[in-house]
Structure 1
Amino acid sequence: MSSSSAKGTQDRPAHHEANGKGFVNPWPSFHRNGYSDIFRMMFEFDRSRSKVTKETKLPTVLDLNMPLINTFSQPKQGAEEGARGDKVSTTWLGHACFLLQLEGVNILFDPVFSDRCSPSQWAGPKRITPPPCKLNELPRIDIVVISHNHYDHLDLTTIQKLQKDHNPYFYVPLGNKAWFNSIGIKEKVRECDWWDEHEHSFHDNKSNVKVICTPCQHFTGRSMTDHYKTLWASWVVETIPKQASEKKTKVFFGGDTGYRYVPKGAEEDAMPHCPAFKEIGDRVGPFDLSMIPIGAYSPRWFMSPIHCSPEDAVRLHEDIGSKRSVGMHWGTWVLTDEDVTEPPKRLEAAMKKRGHDPATFNTVQIGETLVVDA
């Protein structure tokens, strides 16, 4: 039986609390930080490393390539469709937000367009780079996928405007539907447990996609009293071939995740790693395109259970069998104390160290559209 589907007390999945009132990371690769850890982390937090100055070389913010994006918003027209061919595109909109386009379906992951990722726009982490566009400049949005309920991934103002302007389907992990209902979104919200699947048809059945909720290693909470009460997830989107001869296009979105807990002084490669990603690769991979977090990893001993370092991200890229990956979860807000320009540099070094072509897993500029063969 797989690690993420193993049954626990009262015949619940291993990632469900025995009392049914929350969720856990059921692997030795995870460590739940306590209040003493939080106090220690705040004491050790080195703000000088993450300070942004006029000399800091932040990601470039590009204008969206709307002709290209609009091209990918259309359904495939068969073999004669021309230059687009069997390709998939993703546009980085900052942090963990991507516009994925496949089969003419527009899917938005973890959209946050507010200035601060916080309960209030008066306080909390403020953007160091702006979004590349306004929400009303996006093309039609068919599906919105949410990885978990932290403020840098789930934003009230953004969700309300998307619902008003686009009326998309919302995919959320278990426990999050109540939040959507509380803000007036009561229809088209699909709440999922790990390994739940849903199929969609668009454009008069010309475009068919499957959305799969998959495991990852993280936690949730929008206050000090609701940690671990709702589920967190990574996600897979794949096309549904209309003929047996057609190939599936498969895309992985990592959401927010750790890979292994590394206490101070421990040898990283000796620590157990999260088995969920190898399981994802075995069950639904390999992937044509993946979006994997590479930032917010320091202090390492505190952040390692919940956030990937660039070195962890490369291992995750390997585990899921990704042909082409792009780094995310960096360059938008200062959430931790590493140099905000460091993640891409360490990612390139880690790819070379593991014997990979760095061009197969790198970063793009904010607003840049990456097009890959599927």
Structure 2
Amino acid sequence: MNRRKFFKWSGLAAIAALAGGVTARSAMAGNKYYSGPVSDHFDGTSFFNPGGVEPRGGLDLLRWKLGNGNIPWPDTFTSPFPQAVPETRVDGDRLVVTMVGHASLLIQVAGLNILTDPVWSERTSPFTWTGPKRVNPPGIRIGDLPPIDIVLVTHNHYDHLDLETLRVLQGRDKPHFITPLGNDAIIRPRAPDARITVMDWGGSETVGPGAIFHCEPCHHWSARGLGDRRMALWAAFVFETPAGKIYHIGDTGFHEGRNYRAAGQKHGPFRLANLPFGAYEPRWFMEAQHQNPEEAVEGMQLCGASFAAGHHWGTVKLTDEGIEQPVEALHTALDARKIARERFRPMRPGEVFEVPDPTPA
């Protein structure tokens, strides 16, 4: 095999692993991460989306990757914002979100510093030498982070669970890790002394005065390789704070808006929703796992969010759409629904969003 073909196919292998072992169903007799009772979303071995759609298999992966719909990205996509140096703490009614990149956000509220799905590595891949590579540096240097209190890991795909970054954060700040069922078994070997709270859908954890994390469903899946598909849970989270409620989704398919409606009815309205809106083409392959910008805007409305911070775009190339197409489609969707563009911000690395207080004076 020549060098060019080798890197093409090794890159495809990295994408397959990043997508969660989509080239094979679980080959293991039992669950390597979690053991627990059967529920409406766990069959005793694997987690699933009730009434949902499974991710596609290996033949569809090859059909997608060997197709001609891919729009290349530039090697670099420079953010207009310099790398941020965040405040140490944010108190009172203030809510500040700073974009690191992809799904990594620093949320500062109620005196807490919260990192979501932190990834500082160059690649979101099981390999250091191939796989999706970031096209811009993190929006905050890791040394410029304020003391981190909580690290939220929404699921175990490589663009959301970066073990090297988690190891560094544990050595630096010893934060409280919060993650859905089973993911602690992945994190623990790299951070053996970490404080890790695992949560099932419907669970909650008090993290400070008036501050509660609620674990809620989203339509996604999980895996780190070829033999662990859906063996660890994925989730969305609600942060209930004295400064308002935040709805955070790391990754999701739209799933007819069911989870948005449920979250709005149970917890809404929200001051802020952190919503993915990139990595969605081709739709025939991605629809069940990644919502598109139009669906993200509809989800914002369904859950009752006053503002949204858009993420999961413009840092690592995972799918076919061009690098700026998500923002263009987002603006089209907002305009069509007569929603002011400033209410849904497509966050770029280093961007700081001081979220307005929607409460009338």
TM-score (structure 1 length as normaliser): 0.82
Match of 1:132 in 2: 139
> Structure 2 counterpart of 1:363, which letter?
P
Q: Tell me the distance in 1 between the aligned counterparts of 2:68 and 2:283.
A: 11
SS in structure 2 at match of 1:50: coil
Match of 1:151 in 2: 158
Superposed counterparts of 1:158-177, under 5 Å: 158-177=165-184
Q: Tell me the distance in 1 between the aligned counterparts of 2:330 and 2:42.
A: 33
Superposed counterparts of 1:268-279, under 5 Å: 273-279=256-262
SS in structure 1 at match of 2:306: coil
Match of 2:31 in 1: none
- Report if the CA contact (8 A) 2:270-2:305 is conserved: yes
Q: Tell me the distance in 1 between the aligned counterparts of 2:180 and 2:321.
A: 29
- Report if the CA contact (8 A) 1:59-1:331 is conserved: no
Superposed counterparts of 1:186-335, under 5 Å: 186-201=193-208, 207-239=209-241, 241=242, 249-260=244-255, 273-335=256-318
Q: Tell me the distance in 2 between the aligned counterparts of 1:361 and 1:343.
A: 12
Q: Give the C-alpha shift of residue 236 in structure 1.
A: 1.1
- Report if the CA contact (8 A) 2:123-2:134 is conserved: yes
- Report if the CA contact (8 A) 1:58-1:341 is conserved: no
Distance 1:44 1:139, change over 3 A: same
Distance 1:53 1:184, change over 3 A: closer
> Structure 2 counterpart of 1:15, which letter?
H
- Report if the CA contact (8 A) 1:65-1:368 is conserved: no
Q: Tell me the distance in 2 between the aligned counterparts of 1:364 and 1:74.
A: 20
Match of 1:36 in 2: 59
Q: Give the C-alpha shift of residue 62 in structure 1.
A: 1.8
Q: Tell me the distance in 1 between the aligned counterparts of 2:253 and 2:127.
A: 27
* Cα deviation code 1:182-225 (max 9, x no counterpart): 22334410000111100022xxxxx5411111111111011011
Structure 1 alignment gaps of length 5 or more: 1-9, 77-85, 202-206, 242-247, 261-272
> Structure 2 counterpart of 1:122, which letter?
W
Distance 1:127 1:32, change over 3 A: closer
Deviation >3 Å, runs of 4+:
none
> Structure 2 counterpart of 1:250, which letter?
K
Q: Tell me the distance in 1 between the aligned counterparts of 2:68 and 2:354.
A: 38
Distance 1:185 1:75, change over 3 A: farther
Match of 1:117 in 2: 124
* Cα deviation code 1:96-116 (max 9, x no counterpart): 010001111100000000000
SS in structure 1 at match of 2:101: coil
- Aligned with residue 80 of structure 2, among 49, 57, 60: 60
- For this pair of structures, how many residues does the alignment match? 322
Q: Tell me the distance in 2 between the aligned counterparts of 1:113 and 1:65.
A: 16
> Structure 2 counterpart of 1:51, which letter?
W
Superposed counterparts of 1:13-24, under 5 Å: 13-17=39-43, 20-24=44-48
Q: Give the C-alpha shift of residue 132 in structure 1.
A: 2.1
> Structure 2 counterpart of 1:64, which letter?
A
Q: Give the C-alpha shift of residue 11 in structure 1.
A: 8.2
Q: Give the C-alpha shift of residue 44 in structure 1.
A: 1.7
Q: Percent identity?
A: 36
Q: Give the C-alpha shift of residue 308 in structure 1.
A: 1.1
> Structure 2 counterpart of 1:253, which letter?
H
TM-score (structure 2 length as normaliser): 0.85
- Report if the CA contact (8 A) 2:269-2:303 is conserved: yes
Q: Tell me the distance in 2 between the aligned counterparts of 1:53 and 1:143.
A: 33
SS in structure 1 at match of 2:179: strand
Q: Does 1:362 align with 2:345?
A: yes
Structure 2 alignment gaps of length 5 or more: 1-35
Distance 1:93 1:11, change over 3 A: closer
Aligned-pair Cα RMSD in Å: 1.8
* Cα deviation code 1:75-104 (max 9, x no counterpart): 44xxxxxxxxx2211111100010001111
Q: Does 1:92 align with 2:75?
A: no
Q: Tell me the distance in 2 between the aligned counterparts of 1:74 and 1:323.
A: 20
Match of 1:341 in 2: 324
Q: Give the C-alpha shift of residue 14 in structure 1.
A: 1.8
